[in-house]
Structure 1
Amino acid sequence: MPTHLVWLRHDLRVTDNRALNAACQHSQAKVLVVFIATPIQWKTHHMAPRQAAFLLAHLKAVQARLMELDIPLHYHECDDFQDAVKWLINFCNHHKVDKLFYNYQYEINESRRDHALEKKLRHQVICQGFHDAVLLPPEKVLKDNGQMYQVFTPFRHAFLKQLPLSNLSSIPVPKKRDAPQMRISLTDLSFDYPLLDFDTKLFPIGEAAAQKQLTRFCDAKVSAYHNARNIPAITGTSGLSPYLTLGILSPRQCLGCLRDAFPEGIVNHKGAFDWLNELIWRDFYRHLLMAYPRLSQGHPFIGWTKFVKWHHSDNLFKKWQQGRTGYPIVDAAMRQLNTTGWMHNRLRMITASFLVKDLLIDWCLGEQYFMSQLLDGDLAANNGGWQWAASTGTDAVPYFRIFNPNTQGKRFDPKGEFIRHWLPELSAVPESEIHQPESWAGKNQKNVDYPSPVVDHKQARQATLSAFIAAKNLSEEMERNHAQ
């Protein structure tokens, strides 16, 4: 009787889990599942305590689901990926594992970890990986010359051509094991890592809850998504990103639900197509990690931007972190992040732009801070978003396009509803003045317990343009000198 081992990582579900399904295809195989916690590695990756708590809650949930299938989950905690590989090799030897199944992760440390494990097991265990966290595997969406797309629109065009040619149906839950298994009991799971409570009403635990939220969104909200998605004062987004990040939902389940809601064709509905567009962006950033490993190491995609001379100010950085910049839409967004571990996507763009383009602070610091707070912290999407905002990444906003935070606030929170919720100290400021409360307070001789703007936007914009132009000129000069 063969022994099959499934190594769970960011794929905490039993439905539509390609690695788990493949391991269960042999009806007589003894199927084991393992999860390895690596707190020291998590710390270097800036995992948020809320995300760690979310992960732990779902690990317990998937353990209970596996128990119903007569599949035991073995748990181990060690420092880092290197120790995880050593332990897993010993586990395979001890349990006489014939095949190891897992779903690919595309970050450089995770990829190196898997390669190291495969190399050490190649003469004793068959290792099989799956592209489970994406709709289409990276090798399916390439240019004619075999290179990865660097601009989203042509990538999407090629992606949509491939989509109908791929089998993206969801795989059902595996059947309960027929083969006799060892007696299974629930192991007490805990992490030696900081944990922080999250809102279980907004983000309930379990696959069933996630699937219910997905169905509700596709049935009731996605039609208006194209209009509602940019308004932070309303619940216009899916709120599914934490579930997708940890693999509690698969992207195929999302696409399937969307197709069920719009059987006549997703592209014929603006809201549905816009949400599909977001799923494609998610794939795009993962494909980029695979093609350009340096993106996982804090390097900009656009080489010359590494010469930008950033403003090193701990004081300004802390004020941005705390939501005390004097720009209401920025501060409200940062307080939402700090309180809930989640931030509306439009606000992620605004706050990132403010840190980089108004405060001229290195985008890497903002990227790390977001990861340290986000319930849906995901390197591919977070890095992609920050490099987009910082004008350092592929398909990024041009460096000379700089968001005006007050204009952004007026456009996407015109009545200040979102701002008032997170900045109650501005409750007395009239709707017409909510985006510039210091001006209103000065004109009306009012005292408002809210800081004045930490920078003048117009002056900051000019300083940023000068910094980027100087960086580009320096890079070009260095290239000329190198060519001589």
Structure 2
Amino acid sequence: MLSVKCCYSLYRYGVIQVLCCVSASFKNGLFDSGSDDVLTMPGEENLLLRKTRGKNIMPATRGKRKERSPTESEKDPHKEEASNAQKSSRSESEKKAPKLNQEESEKGRAKRYERVSNNTNNTSHPRLGVKAREKQGMYNKNAQKGEPDPTAIGGSFEGTPLDELEKVMKKSEVEFKKAKNGNVLMWIRNKDFRAFERASQAAKSMGTHVIALHVISPGDYKSHGRGARRIDFMMRNVKELRSELKEKNIPLVVRTITPRKTVPKEIISFCDEFNITKIYANIEYEVDELRRDAVVVHLARESGKAAFFVHDCIIVPPGMLLTKEGKPYSVYGPWFKKWVETVNENDNLLETSEDPEANDESVRKDKSLHSLFEEEIPSEVEGYECADAEKMAQLWPAGYHSARESLGRFLEGKKGKEADDIFQSSKVKEKKAAVENYPEGRNRPDVDGTSRLSPYLAAGVISPREVVQKARKMNKGSISQGGKENGFSNWISEVAWRDFYAHVIVAWPRVVMGRAYNLAMESVCWEYEEDQVKAWKEGNTGYPIVDAAMRQMRETGFMHNRCRMITAMFLVKDLMVDWKNEVGEAYFMQHLMDADFASNNGGWQWSASTGTDPQPYFRIFNPFSQSEKSAQSYSDPDGAYIKRWVPELKSLSGKALHDPFHKLDKASFKKLGYPEPIVDHNEARKRALRRFKTPGEK
């Protein structure tokens, strides 16, 4: 077992990170109201800590944004109506419209969240009608009805669910100062297993204890299509974390809450039961989660408590990177350039946090708390039992030490476990670290040339700050030196995509609710042939590269990034199946260990030519040529990847391996026992070009 010191320099993300910088500054309030700097910390003392120690915890407030004076209608919503009265008379009912005070408005928000979350079968994507999507909390009802979305072109961080959360938190500053001394809750989410720092320091300043809570919410899992593998991985990491926290006298408990609408109230009830007055958690950027957290802040304030949510799951918080016009970026290239500049100018963005403070041993003698150390943590979640849990545990072991091993293998060439062999199809193994060959390796599914850190990053088991910081250090202190030809810089640019897609779902919340970024593409005419969809799922399409990739995912919970693009584009443009259907985006969410909504959604929208900075609709991958060119260009003439995952073709070589149906005679092909192509690519390409060029045309 790792030492406590090691394990807690480990848990720098999700659970341990939110805990250390909140100390005597509480008496100064939640935010430094005199500053709009995005790096503002709670109180003046912690602002100094931010500058001198480089803490990376971001309060949920954005800055470096031009101040604007509120319009008259914003100062008083009824003044706009009064202004309109000069042009036309108002009805008596409008004249008598009551003004909602702050408390009434926030109570309405809480009730709205309950209505939105009322159905545990609430799912964010597939084929929902207008009313169903409105119930799910789609922030722009007009867009649901087919009317233009005001953020369709430029996007905005104003008026979004994140903006709502930040505003309600800003209103809670006074209550935060007034909150009585009590225990401190660290609410561990699905993406953060290392955010303890703030809560730890808060408890220390009050002479109380930290309690960690993980909530199992099946309704939330279903809303984003999380699969059994991802939930199993999460629970294994919860157990790993609990054993380490015990050494710090910090209890970690698990509660199952259903229906999902009751999560905010149950959190407050838990706080009441264990004398908790302050709640800390990292921000999750999906729509329902943001609205849920706004309700938690409101309910906490009503009950004399305070809730504090921070930006921590990504490196650069949403809203910090804006165009010259003050709008969010929708194209990755200029966004990444700005991202690099921002990270270079703000070293604290890559700083990791310190170990959490241990609870005093008196916590084990506390009548209400001592039993928490003995509570059992479930091994699985009902409805999300993982059929291949044992195999997944071997391929993807839980814990920070496992994430560190993967990082060491990739960056330093350290020897991995035997399980790594399943990701290496080619017999040729490089002696140097994979990162040095990354510009080529990232395009080679036959070699173990990627970091395979994505499951650990998606679950918050390791911080993106830590991995980028280490890569930068090994790259002579530079993030971008050497450009795309440099393995370190190339890899860092890939890690940054996580930030980009998180920014996208905040600025254009509709993409979380089953909508396309490019609304015009929602009129594309789709098909659904059940036999073809089944063949795609099972890897029996007759296209070797597609089948190899799909079988690899079903077998290992992993798929090479280039293969993800090929298989996704094949489903959308060769089979003309809607990516929002349960067989596209959702199917990947069900099977991938690194399933993360923002990244998965962004990848699918890229391949489907419906998203931000997408693949142009007229560029359609030919699976046969993609497979053959990849083999020729990247020194895999034997087609090791296809032979590894499609053993029916292991006797073939050359062009026949990549396109056996067209390159072999009928008798030879039949002996293989391999299916014929389920669709003619050339004809499918013509159909896709026609339909994407003129959305709505059959």
* Superposition TM-score tier, normalisation by shorter sequence: over 0.9
Pick one of 180, 185, 194 that aligns with 2:362.
Answer: 180
Contact 1:229 1:237 (8 Å CA) reproduced: yes
Deviations 1:417-468 (A, max 9, x none): 1111111111122233101112344266351111111111111000001111
Greater Cα offset, 221-230 or 298-307: 221-230
1:211 aligns with 2:404: yes
Aligned twin of 1:55: 234
Measured after TM superposition, the shift of residue 472 of structure 1 is 7.0
Q: Name 2:681's counterpart in structure 1.
A: 457
Distance between the aligned counterparts of 1:22 and 1:313, measured in 2?
57
The aligned residue for residue 428 of structure 1 is 651
Letter in 1 for 2:684: A
1:467 aligns with 2:672: no
- The partner residue of 2:352 within 125, 145, 170 is 170
2:322 aligns with 142
Sort the Cα spacing of 1:441 and 1:136 in 2 relative to 1 into closer, same or farther, 3 A: same
| 8 Å Cα contact 1:67/1:185 also seen in 2 | yes
Distance in structure 2 (CA, Å) of the matches to 1:60 and 1:376: 19
1:68-467 equivalences under 5 Å are: 68-123=247-302, 124-166=304-346, 167=348, 168-178=350-360, 180-182=362-364, 183=370, 185-190=373-378, 191-196=381-386, 197=389, 198-219=391-412, 220-269=433-482, 270-365=486-581, 366-414=584-632, 415-442=638-665, 445-446=668-669, 447-467=671-691
Give the CA deviation at 1:60.
Answer: 0.5
Q: Secondary structure at the match of 1:46?
A: coil
Which deviates further from its counterpart, 205-214 or 25-34?
A: 25-34
Question: Per-residue deviation at 1:371?
Answer: 0.6
Distance 1:250 1:293 in 2: 25
The AA in structure 1 aligned to 2:688 is T
Spell out, residue by residue over 1:134-173, the C-alpha distance to the aligned partner (whole angstroms, 9 max, x if none): 1011121112332111111111111111102320211122
- When residues 373 and 285 of structure 1 are mapped into structure 2, their CA distance, relative to the original with a 3 A threshold, is same
Amino acid at match of 1:216: R
Does the aligned pair in 1 maintain the 2:192–2:460 contact within 8 Å? Answer: yes
What secondary structure, in the 3-state scheme, does the structure 2 residue paired with 1:397 have? coil
Q: Is the 8 A contact 2:264 2:299 kept in 1?
A: no
Change (3 A) 1:181 1:268: same
Counterpart of 1:199 in 2: which secondary structure? helix
For 2:243, the equivalent position in structure 1 comes to: 64
Letter in 1 for 2:609: S
Aligned mates of 1:34, 1:103 — CA distance in 2? 13
SS at match of 2:185: strand
Deviation at 1:2, TM superposition (A): 2.9
Contact 1:323 1:331 in 2 (8 A): yes
Amino acid at match of 1:36: V
Query: Which position in structure 1 is the counterpart of 2:6?
Result: none
Deviation per CA, 1:162-189: give whole Å up to 9, x if none: 1023202111221322362133534322
Provide the C-alpha distance between the structure 1 equivalents of 2:342 and 2:204, rounded to a whole number of angstroms: 27
| Distance change >3 Å, CA 451–CA 11, structure 1 → 2 | closer
Given that residues 103 and 131 in structure 1 are in contact (C-alpha distance below 8 angstroms), is that contact kept between their aligned partners in structure 2? yes
Q: Any conservation in 2 of the 1:19–1:102 contact (CA below 8 Å)?
A: no
Q: Matched residues in 2 for 1:23 and 1:231: separation?
A: 48
Amino acid at match of 1:288: V
Structure 1 pair 147–25 and aligned structure 2 pair: CA distance change class (3 A): farther
> Which letter does structure 2 place at the counterpart of 1:386?
W
1:22-33 equivalent positions in 2, closer than 5 A = 23=202, 26=205, 28-33=207-212
CA distance in structure 1 between the aligned counterparts of 2:481 and 2:342, rounded to whole angstroms = 18
SS of equivalent to 1:138: coil
CA contact (8 A) 1:233 1:413 kept: no
Q: 1:456 to 1:23 in 2, by over 3 A?
A: farther
Q: Comparing 390-399 with 216-225, which one deviates more in the overlay?
A: 216-225
Shift of 1:65: 1.2
Secondary structure (helix, strand or coil) at the match of 2:184 reads strand
CA shift, 1:194, in A, is 2.3
User: Which range is displaced more, 352-361 or 410-419?
Assistant: 410-419
Corresponding letter in the other structure for 1:323: G
Residues 1:74 and 1:89: Cα distance change in structure 2 (over 3 Å): same
User: SS state of the match for residue 171, structure 1?
Assistant: coil
* Superposed displacement of residue 116, structure 1: 1.5
Verify the 8 A CA contact 2:537 2:550 in the aligned structure 1. Answer: yes
Letter in 1 for 2:596: D
Q: Which amino acid aligns with 1:63?
A: R
Q: Could you tell which deviates more after superposition, 426-435 or 148-157?
A: 426-435
- Residue type at the aligned position of 1:218: L
User: What is the distance in 2 between the residues matched to 1:194 and 1:282?
Assistant: 26
Say which SS state the counterpart of residue 32 (structure 1) adopts.
strand
Distance in 2 separating the partners of 1:371 and 1:106: 17
- Please state how far the C-alpha of 1:19 moved relative to its aligned partner: 5.0
Aligned to 1:155, the other structure's residue is in SS state helix
Kept in 1, the 8 Å contact 2:442–2:449? The answer is: yes
TM-score normalized by the length of structure 2: 0.65
Q: Secondary structure at the match of 2:682?
A: helix
Shift of 1:262: 2.1
Which residue identity is paired with 1:45?
H
Q: Give the conservation status (yes or no) of the 8 Å contact 2:286–2:505.
A: yes
Specify the SS of the correspondent of 1:230. coil
SS at match of 2:253: strand
Cα deviation, residue 94, structure 1: 1.9
Q: Are the aligned partners of 1:23 and 1:101 in contact in 2 as well (CA < 8 Å)?
A: no
> How far does residue 268 in structure 1 lie from its aligned partner after superposition?
2.2
1:120–1:440 CA distance, 2 compared to 1 (3 A):
same
Q: Which runs of 5+ in 1 are unaligned?
A: 475-484
Once the two structures are TM-superposed, the CA of residue 339 in structure 1 deviates from its matched residue by 1.2
> Which letter does structure 2 place at the counterpart of 1:391?
S
Mapped partners of 2:436, 2:203: distance in 1: 38
CA contact (8 A) 1:64 1:186 kept: no
Give the gaps of 5 or more residues in structure 2. 1-180, 365-369, 413-432, 633-637
